[in-house]
Structure 1
Amino acid sequence: MTAPPTGPATLLVIAKEPLPGRVKTRLTPPYTPQEAAVLAEASLTDTLHALLRTPARRRVLVLDGRPGPWLPPGFDVVPQGPGGLDERIAGAFARCDDGPALLVGMDTPQLTPDLLLPVGRDGHDAWFGPAADGGFWALGLADPARNGSLVRGVAMSTGRTGAVQRLRLTRAGLTVRDLPVLRDIDTAADAAEVAGVCPPGSRFAAALASLGQTTR
């Protein structure tokens, strides 16, 4: 059996341009669409800067929309492909060169580089970051060109999305390392809980504090 490729991973962030009415719609109410977009931009920015501090072979923003002043240097920007989220994730992996790749979303600003250090370095075939709501916040593959299609057909945004995706990996014969469980930001309650565990200097925590209470 061939050993999986190792080394620093290609880091992918799949995201939407943080525009009012297009992002974090479940935060409205209590927040306005404009406020929800402010929170989405802060969350995305925290995520991008966390990946800048993580060793990587390449960093890629897979974007639905256009980049703005929130995008720091150091990322290649590519458009998302067509289809549902499963197809767009698979398409992002298909763009990767040889070697391991890890994809995260824009909803976990509490992410820190140490959470990602095992990816590509510990001999596993896959790395899986379960989300508290039953989804997943990270998916890494040692051979994304071969195994990226394992996400196709997985129903997204359900309470069983993570379990189904992880089962897909193991049924394909991949060895999987689980990363810590993180909470995605979907609701105002999620936002308050995540802000409380963000690292010092978090743009998301500061943005949430500037907007005041989460129930109005």
Structure 2
Amino acid sequence: MSLVKLTIKGISYSQTQNGAYALILNEVDGDRKLPIVIGAFEAQSIAIALEKEIKPPRPLTHDLFKSFADRFDIVVKQVIIHKLVDGVFFSSIICERDKIEEIIDARTSDAIALALRFSASIFTYKNILDKAGIYLKSNLSEQEGSSDNDDILSDPETFGIKEESNVAGDMYAKHSMSELNDLLNEAVEQEDYEKAAKIRDEISRR
């Protein structure tokens, strides 16, 4: 079975499961997207790895794993989403130490969070993409009534958590850039990364 390379397109609130998020992976040489439902902690970890401006004051679990692996010369070479059963994706982490390759079973959300930290490639098999891949519009102006996933996916470089309303943006609109930067630093120090992401979005908007 042939492998298909994927990149991370974005993160959105899951429309089907409360408290969960949808991680959207994009086919590198095609237009299909692979949506995967993940938990809030994993969504936060992936978002922080994507957003270079937010640096946790203390290492998160996946950062700790990266430090541990670096100390013992373990390299994550790639992640493969190799199975789909009853809507659940199964993944493997391909590691190497002293030129010996090992395959470790992992939840897909954890595997991708680690792949980002090791700059490792993400793959899936063509038959999985054929089964679960979807097409999403990238140009919101072409059609009214676009879904929330379309919105978050409109910019390939955008990561983040789609807000259900613009209340958060209005909340920070009155602050100056200097105040926003202070609030951002404060949120990171308090490890309130959801708040930090909202402030970062307001800074980026300006």
Q: TM-score range by the shorter chain?
A: under 0.3
TM normalised by structure 1 equals: 0.24
More helix by share: 2
TM normalised by structure 2 equals: 0.25
More strand by share: 2
